[in-house]
Structure 1
Amino acid sequence: MSQRNRILIGVAVLLLIIVAVLAVDALQRRTARLPEVAAGEPTLVPGGIPIYVDGHLVGSFVPDQLAELQVASFVDAEEGKTQEGWRLADVLLLHISEDRLRPDTRVVVSSSSRNKAADLNWAEVENPDNHVQFDLAGRGTLKLVSTLERLDVRDEWVQDVDRIEVTNP
């Protein structure tokens, strides 16, 4: 075997090793970005608001994902400002089938940073006249607003929402 053939074989082997290392690295990077979840299990979107039904995570969302929903609005009685956003009922129906929601189903929307929560039932949430909806706050977080008597002024709104719990009796 000539010197030239040995050099060509050496270069070819070296190139194969480099390609193999790059392929393994690319595969590892790709799988590192994918969450390790059992098939069919919902995942919590980074920075998302989780939705739990009877203690089980059924999904999560971030405000950007609500663009497909119809926008609702009302003018708050306290300051006369328009509150515009997405109905809580529409958000829940993206993750929960309507047959799992009864009029007495409990819906708790909470904020751990504000230590606030709104305890509602599905009949209140579902009624469009109550305007139970999310509004985008200036910081990009969601606040729960409504015309319901117990949620109709700013001090009662749940700002920086970070959890939704749905419980069936």
Structure 2
Amino acid sequence: MTLTLLTGGARSGKSALAVRRAARSGLPVVFVATGEARDDEMADRIARHREERPEGWATVEAPHDLVDAVRVLPPDHVVIVDCLSLWVSNLMERGDDEAATVAAADELGRWATAYPGTVLVVTNEVGLGIVPMHPVSRDYRDRLGRVNATVAAHADLAQLVVAGRTLTLDPRED
């Protein structure tokens, strides 16, 4: 019923904001995590994120098959998808091409708008800096930008998070 996209830079407060909004809802929450603990640093990040979440929330790990994972979620929950940035990286590493990735993002957006509950999607904005020198980095930046725009096109609300504060972006134009 409601899809909100929260985007911004690293450590801008996007995930914490999604957690606060979900907790305030009073509804059951499902946290859909796209990250994988492949090294100590990432394991530490995941542990810190888990500590921010209230006990009793369900967690679904979906580093690759995000759309399949959300399609089976029960209705009338708040669903947090955190985050598209890691998901796109995982798909690139797996060898998915850009067209397949953007198509999956469109499926996610379509699912979220039809879901009988609230969906909060977290993602990074990586396209505000200089053009990366390496082709893989440029591909990632461009692909994530297209994924973000695709999901945002479905969103009822899109907000840029900077220093824990939000700036509401213009509503989508149909």
- TM-score scaled by length of structure 2: 0.22
Q: Which has the higher relative contact order, 1 or 2, with Cα contacts under 8 A spaced 6 or more apart?
A: 2
- From the two aligned structures, give the one with the greater strand fraction: 1
Between Structure 1 and Structure 2, whose CA radius of gyration is higher? 1
